[in-house]
C-alpha cells in the first residue's frame, strides 16, 4: 500500500510538515511511504538563486524526487502540502493537479483518501482558506478527504501556532523566521498516520 506525500516548499516550512506527515505514514504497518516534491518553475528557480534562505531550503530537498503522474496514479492515498499564496495553494501545486485530467478520466483518484497541509507567513494569512480550497479539486477527483479530529493532541488551542481541523499548518513568520512548533509537527504526523490508516481500512 503506497502512501504519497507530495509537497511544494520554497523556504522549508512545508517541507518540515511533509517530513512529519511522512513519519506518521511510516508508523502504519503495511504503508510504504513515497515522498515527492512538486517541480519548481524555471523562473522562480532563477529568481531565488541568490536568496540564501531559499537556497538553504533547496539543499535540504534537492534529493527528493519530483512527483510524476505515475506517482499519483500508483498511490493508494495522497497527502498534499503547499504554502499559502494569497489565501490559496501555490501555482506549482495547482499545475501538478491541473496535469491530471488523463488520470481523472480513468478514475485513478476515486476512493483514495487524501489530506492537505499548509503554511502561512502570518497568523490570519489564510491557512483555512488554503486548506479548504485545496479540497475542492480533490473532491472533483473523487478522493475521500480526511481531516484532523479535535481529539488529536495539540489541536484544541489558542496559541501562536498552526493546527486546524482541515489539516496541519504552521506559521513561517513574515520573514520566514519561525519554525514549525513540536505541536505543528505532531499534528502533521497524526494526519499522515490517519490517512494511511484510512487507506488500510478501505483496502479491507
Ligand atoms: C506570492 C506569495 C503569496 C503569499 N501569500 C500569502 C498569504 O496570502 N498569506 C500569508 O500568510 N503568507 C503568504 N505568503 C507567504 C508564504 O505563505 C510563506 O512564505 C510560506 O508559507 C512559507 O512556506 P515554505 O517555507 O514552505 O515555502 C505568500 C508568499 C508569496 C511568495
CATH number of the domain within which 38 lies: 3.40.50.360
User: Is 10 close to ligand 1, i.e. is its CB under 6 Å away?
Assistant: yes
The pLDDT tens digits for 116-129 are 999 999 999 999 99
Mean pLDDT of all residues in 51-65: 96
Q: What pLDDT, on a 0 to 100 scale, did the predictor assign at position 170?
A: 98
| Total structural domains within the chain | 1
Whose alpha carbon is nearest atom 29 of ligand 1? Answer: 85
Mean pLDDT of all residues in 162-173: 98
Half-sphere exposure of 186 (CA within 13 A, CB side): 9
Ligand 1 centroid to Cα of residue 85, in Å, is 5
Q: Which atom of ligand 1 is nearest to the CA of 118?
A: 21
For 112-124, letters b (16+ CB in 10 Å) and e give bbbbbbbbbbeee
The pLDDT tens digits for 63-115 are 999 999 999 999 999 999 999 999 999 999 999 999 999 999 999 999 999 99
Rounded-to-integer distance, Cα 92 and Cα 117, Å = 15
How is residue 32 written as a grid cell? 510504504
Q: Which atom of ligand 1 is nearest to the CA of 83?
A: 21
How is residue 124 written as a grid cell? 490570519
Q: Which domain holds residue 111?
A: 2-203
Amino acid at each position: 500500500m503506497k502512501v504519497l506525500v507530495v509537497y511544494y516548499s520554497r523556504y522549508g516550512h512545508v517541507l518540515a510538515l511533509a517530513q512529519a506527515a511522512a513519519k506518521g505514514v511510516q508508523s502504519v504497518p503495511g504503508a510504504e511511504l513515497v515522498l515527492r516534491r512538486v517541480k519548481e518553475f524555471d523562473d522562480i528557480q532563477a529568481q531565488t538563486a541568490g536568496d540564501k534562505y531559499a537556497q538553504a531550503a533547496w539543499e535540504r530537498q534537492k534529493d527528493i524526487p519530483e512527483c510524476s503522474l505515475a506517482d499519483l496514479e500508483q498511490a493508494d492515498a495522497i497527502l498534499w502540502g503547499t504554502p499559502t499564496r494569497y489565501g490559496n495553494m501555490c501555482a506549482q501545486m495547482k499545475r501538478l493537479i491541473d496535469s491530471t485530467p488523463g488520470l481523472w478520466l480513468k478514475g485513478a483518484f476515486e476512493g483514495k483518501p487524501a489530506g492537505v497541509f499548509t503554511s502561512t507567513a502570518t497568523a490570519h494569512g489564510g491557512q483555512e482558506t488554503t486548506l479548504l480550497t485545496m479540497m475542492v479539486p480533490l473532491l472533483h477527483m473523487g478522493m475521500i478527504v480526511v481531516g484532523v479530529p479535535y481529539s488529536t493532541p495539540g489541536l484544541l488551542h489558542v496559541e501562536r501556532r498552526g493546527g486546524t481541523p482541515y489539516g496541519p499548518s504552521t506559521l513561517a513568520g513574515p520573514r520566514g523566521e519561525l519554525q514549525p512548533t513540536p505541536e505543528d509537527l505532531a499534528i502533521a504526523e497524526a494526519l499522515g498516520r490517519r490517512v494511511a490508516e484510512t487507506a488500510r481500512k478501505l483496502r479491507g
